[in-house]
Amino acid sequence: VCFVLKKGTKTNQPFLEIVLQTSLLSSSGNHGRVATVLVSQMRNNATSPNIKVDFNQSTGVAVLSMQSPPVNSLSLDLLTELCINLEKLEMDRACRGLIITSNQPKVFSAGLDILEMYGKSPERCGEFWRAVQEMWLKMYGSNMVTIAAINGSSPAGGCLLSLTCDYRIMVDNPRYSIGLNETLLGIVAPFWFKETMANTVGHRNTEMALELGLLYSPSEALKIGLVDQLVPQDQLLTTATETMKKWLAIPDHARQITKSMMRKPTLDKLTSNREADIQNFVSFITKDSIQKSLRMYLEMLKKRKA
Ligand code: CO8
């Protein structure tokens, strides 16, 4: 079934679900979780617990909203749902564009769920990291036109998620920030985070940003090209929709081949090193000193709130 069905193949819902189940089970080994999410998706075609998808058949554009309170932190559950929905859209011939945004106030995504990396077994950490890789591979390698409509803060993994898109539009509110701030947590952004950033803002900006764990205001982010456009909150989705029209006016095959030419070298590096990258992550994140740094960061977040 996997070989027969591709994006562009006419298919029906049950068939599509079989493909998704096959591919996700083989990559995550997470049988119970995937099965649960699939069952809930079959009940409600457009919404899973932490993700809402509005697909407009006439424009060919889907709006995917993350709705995982309080801050859309990328937990294993959210990542799994994200991957399932992305795969579903990718395989739907009618879907040519994807706008990704947040239904949470003030936050696009707080990045990877720190609780998934703190006090967890090596096996669980490995499972989590595979899901992070899967999300990145699907987003960065997507054939769809992808636009991030960033309506709140977007640190670390949240920034990475928006960097995987073809175009980024951010709400112009100085209280929001975006950047790869991993070093502030005492952890190190892996090579594919770094390359996604460098492919967008260049080597020098990335070097400074990553070493210092910089979080940029929207206007600073615009200045270095980390985002492409700033808009007031109430114009975010209309601007994203208008921008999408421009991108969709380009013939799909020419745009897709060009995108692949730009991104393939980076994608290939992770694809051919996935297992080693998981091993690196697990041995790094489970070190006592790194666990201590994460605990201190979590405590800092709590104190800041109080
Ligand atoms: N993971 C888990 N919980 C989180 C996270 C997170 N990333 N971010 C916030 N929370 C929790 C808070 O602790 C708080 O919990 P509680 O209600 O129990 O006290 C709750 O979410 C709400 O948070 P805030 O009160 O801080 O919400 P605000 O609206 O005031 O602020 C922010 C929102 C700006 C997003 C703020 O929460 C924040 O700065 N969060 C931290 C973001 C961050 O630093 N993320 C980095 C994650 S690491 C990552 O993505 C890449 C890791 C790569 C690993 C590589 C290793 C090799």
Span from the CA of 135 to the centroid of ligand 1 (angstroms):
19
Catalytic residue among 76, 112, 185, 210: 112
32 catalytic residue (yes or no): no
Fold of 51-305: 2-enoyl-CoA Hydratase; Chain A, domain 1 (3.90.226)
Given this model, what pLDDT does residue 39 score?
Answer: 37
Span from the CA of 9 to the centroid of ligand 1 (angstroms):
40
Contacts of 146 (CB under 8 A, 6+ apart): 97, 98, 99, 100, 139, 164, 165, 166, 167
81 catalytic residue (yes or no): no
Domain boundaries, the chain: 51-305
Q: Centre a 10 Å sphere on the Cβ of residue 189 and count the other Cβ atoms it contains.
A: 22
Indicate the burial class of 230 (C-beta count within 10 angstroms; 0-12, 13-18, 19 or more): buried
Per-residue pLDDT of the chain (306 residues; tens, 9 = 90+): 333 333 443 333 333 333 343 344 344 444 334 434 443 343 334 578 899 999 999 999 999 999 999 999 999 999 999 999 999 999 999 999 999 999 999 999 999 999 999 999 999 999 999 999 999 999 999 999 999 999 999 999 999 999 999 999 999 999 999 999 999 999 999 999 999 999 999 999 999 999 999 999 999 999 999 999 999 999 999 999 999 999 999 999 999 999 999 999 999 999 999 999 999 999 999 999 999 999 999 999 999 877
157 catalytic residue (yes or no): yes
Catalytic residue among 81, 87, 182, 195: 182
